[in-house]
């Protein structure tokens, strides 16, 4: 559609553009200090989100930045609204300086060069610009907070969010880009334990969401817990994940259990082919959509996964259209229509609960009884079907948890239960010291 339209939408307002949701959007993100132009992020003209400067009076647009493969994560602006830098995450955190002449821009340059290889977040700046507070984090460290003195370029350590977590004890995360069966490029993150050697027992960890969400190079408690016990962890940004452009995002819509699942399968096969792990040494575990993908993987590829852990997951897509808090709002119904569709025959086929006769892997089912997003009835229906087929499983449900476990004692029990389940079903590795 044209950028400008003569259609009036109200006093002082004019429609700039409109698009079907699958064809992108234009998002205003800030005014320039002169109030003559605004910054917009556009992923309608290009596949990936692109930063423009737009003059609303003339419609003239000036492209400022576009990455070839990923969307813009956020912008860094000074107190006057001047654009200073852009944050992206193509593989590892990336800061692209735009203004290196101003004092603020120079300070940011120094901060990012000092903490190269970290994700940096400047949270506040004093009125005179003399002091900044910031946090840094990485794949092996949680947030560490600093006070930065801009005149002396000195950093004063303020606090560690979890001082007991030592970076040197954690396992690093590495990015790879795979080419899957139909030629699509799929990003993955691989974390290998610091002890033991290849081939490792492997846990494939598909993320939740699934749409608009992605895995990042960052500290993950589940990943580090597993790696500390000798397990490799593979995280897959399958199609439908966010951050990799409009086409990659929408290529996953109504493809649950199909190409989205094949991406996870192909990443698992890659890890086997590379000697990272071997057949009979792979478990699949995920929460929410990741729980769906874990059970779907176990029934679709019964010879690939030695066990499966499903956590607050969706197992019956037809039930998802009717139960839980998603279908009770218009936005939720619109999402379900886009993400799943309404063809009941198709939804039946793409629901792993209807293919459990193919399941050979041991199964651990985990859920919160208070879950409103994915209600407990999903897990109960799975249990009922497993009982009807006389298939064994393990069951962990907590009455005081919702869509995920947050109580400390419950989380410890979850980790302990998972580790015991993995020890019983995957080859052992040397114990961590």
pLDDT tens sequence across 83-121 = 999 999 999 999 999 988 899 999 999 999 999 989 999
Among 16-20, 51-55, 187-191, 276-280, whose mean pLDDT is lowest? 16-20
Counting residues of the chain whose pLDDT is more than 90, the rounded percentage is: 83
Please report the pLDDT score of residue 283 as a whole number. 98
pLDDT tops 50 at residue 3: no
Counting residues of the chain whose pLDDT is more than 70, the rounded percentage is: 96
Please report the pLDDT score of residue 280 as a whole number. 93
Please report the pLDDT score of residue 1 as a whole number. 34
Tell me the pLDDT tens digit for each residue of 113-140.
Answer: 999 989 999 999 998 989 999 999 999 9
Segment 348-369 shows an average pLDDT of 97
Among 44-58, 297-311, 334-348, 380-394, whose mean pLDDT is lowest? 44-58
pLDDT tops 70 at residue 430: no
Instruction: Give, rounded to a whole angstrom, the gap between the first and last alpha carbons of the chain.
Output: 61
pLDDT tops 80 at residue 433: no
Residue 68 to residues 49, 64, 314, Cα–Cα distance (Å): 10, 13, 34
How many of the other CB atoms lie within 10 Å of CB of 247? 13
Q: In a 10 Å sphere around its CB, with 0-12 CB exposed, 13-18 middle and 19+ buried, how is residue 116 labelled?
A: exposed
Please report the pLDDT score of residue 9 as a whole number. 56
Please report the pLDDT score of residue 7 as a whole number. 52
Please report the pLDDT score of residue 432 as a whole number. 46
How many of the other CB atoms lie within 10 Å of CB of 317? 24
pLDDT tops 90 at residue 295: yes
Tell me the pLDDT tens digit for each residue of 164-211.
Answer: 999 999 999 999 999 999 999 999 999 999 998 999 999 999 999 999
pLDDT tops 50 at residue 421: yes
Strands 61-66 and 50-54: antiparallel
Tokens of 1: 């559609």
Please state the pTM of the whole predicted model.
0.92
Instruction: Look up tokens 């050697």; give the residue.
Output: 197
* Identity of the highest mean pLDDT range in 21-30, 267-276, 424-433: 267-276
What's the mean per-residue pLDDT of the chain? Answer: 92
The answer to whether 283 touches 305, Cβ cutoff 8 Å, is yes
Strand partners, 50: 42, 66
Report the candidate in 133, 151, 271 with the shortest Cα–Cα distance to residue 203.
271
- DSSP element (H, E) containing 158: strand 154-160
Please report the pLDDT score of residue 20 as a whole number. 75
The answer to whether 354 touches 405, Cβ cutoff 8 Å, is no
Tokens of 17: 């553009």
3-state helix/strand/coil string of the chain: CCCCCCCEEECCEECCCCCCHHHCCEEEEEECCCCCCEEEEECCCCCCCEEEEECCCCCCEEEEEECCCCCEEEEEECCCCCEEEEEECCCCCEEEECCCCCHHHHHHHHHHHHCCCCEEEEEEECCCCCEEEEEEECCCCCCEEEEEECCCCEEEEEEECCCCCCHHHCCCEEEEEEECCCCCEEEEEEECCCCCCCCCCEEECCCCCCCCCCCCCCCCHHHHHHHHCCCEEEEECCCCCCCCCHHHHHCCCCCCCCHHHHHHHHHHHHHHHCCCCCCCCEEEEEECHHHHHHHHHHHHCCCCCCEEEEECCCCCHHHHCCCCCHHHCHHHHHHHHHHCCCCHHHHHHCCHHHHHHHCCCCEEEEEECCCCCCCCHHHHHHHHHHHHCCCCCEEEEECCCECECCCHHHHHHHHHHHHHHHHHHCCCCCCCC
Instruction: Please state, in angstroms and rounded to a whole number, the distance separating the CA atoms of residues 178 and 101.
Output: 39
Tell me the pLDDT tens digit for each residue of 28-77.
Answer: 898 988 888 999 999 888 899 999 999 988 888 999 999 999 999 999 99
Please report the pLDDT score of residue 8 as a whole number. 54
pLDDT tops 80 at residue 2: no
The answer to whether 43 touches 71, Cβ cutoff 8 Å, is yes
Please report the pLDDT score of residue 431 as a whole number. 47
pLDDT tops 50 at residue 18: yes
Segment 2-8 shows an average pLDDT of 45
């Amino acid at each position: 559609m044209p950028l400008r339209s003569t259609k009036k939408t109200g006093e002082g307002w004019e429609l700039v553009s409109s698009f079907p949701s699958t064809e992108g959007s234009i998002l205003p993100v800030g005014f320039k200090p002169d109030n003559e132009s605004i910054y917009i992020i556009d992923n309608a003209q290009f596949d990936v989100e692109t930063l423009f400067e737009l003059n609303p009076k003339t419609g003239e647009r000036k492209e400022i930045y576009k990455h070839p493969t990923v969307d813009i994560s956020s912008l860094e602006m000074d107190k006057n609204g001047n654009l200073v830098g852009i944050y992206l995450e193509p593989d590892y955190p990336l800061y692209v300086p735009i203004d290196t002449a101003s004092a603020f821009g120079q300070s940011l340059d120094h901060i990012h060069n000092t903490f190269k290889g970290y994700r940096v977040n400047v949270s506040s700046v004093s009125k005179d610009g003399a002091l900044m507070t910031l946090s840094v984090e990485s794949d092996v460290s949680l947030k560490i907070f600093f006070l930065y003195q801009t005149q002396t370029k000195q950093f004063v350590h303020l606090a560690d969010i979890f001082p007991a977590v030592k970076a040197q004890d954690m396992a690093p995360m590495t990015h790879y880009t795979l080419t899957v069966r139909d030629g699509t490029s799929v990003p993955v993150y691989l974390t290998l334990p610091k002890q033991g050697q290849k081939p490792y027992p492997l846990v494939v960890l598909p993320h939740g969401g699934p749409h608009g969400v992605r895995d990042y190079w960052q500290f993950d408690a589940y990943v580090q817990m597993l790696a500390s016990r000798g397990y490799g962890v593979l995280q897959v940004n399958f199609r439908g994940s966010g951050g990799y452009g409009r086409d990659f995002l929408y290529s996953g819509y109504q493809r649950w259990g199909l190409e989205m699942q094949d991406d996870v399968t192909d990443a698992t096969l890659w890890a086997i082919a590379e000697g990272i792990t071997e057949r009979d040494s792979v478990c699949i575990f995920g929460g929410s959509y990741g729980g769906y993908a874990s059970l779907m993987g176990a029934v679709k590829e019964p010879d690939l996964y030695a066990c499966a852990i499903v956590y607050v997951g969706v197992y019956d897509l037809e039930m998802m259209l009717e139960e839980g808090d998603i279908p009770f709002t218009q936005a939720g119904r619109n999402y379900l229509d886009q993400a799943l569709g309404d063809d009941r025959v198709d939804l039946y086929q793409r629901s792993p609960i209807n293919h459990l006769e193919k399941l050979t892997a041991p199964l651990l089912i985990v859920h919160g009884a208070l879950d409103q997003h994915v209600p407990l009835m999903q897990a109960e229906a799975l249990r009922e079907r497993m009982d009807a087929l006389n298939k064994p499983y393990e069951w962990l449900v907590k009455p005081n948890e919702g869509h995920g476990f947050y109580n400390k004692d419950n989380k410890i029990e979850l980790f302990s239960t998972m580790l015991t389940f993995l020890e019983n079903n995957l080859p052992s590795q040397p114990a961590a010291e």
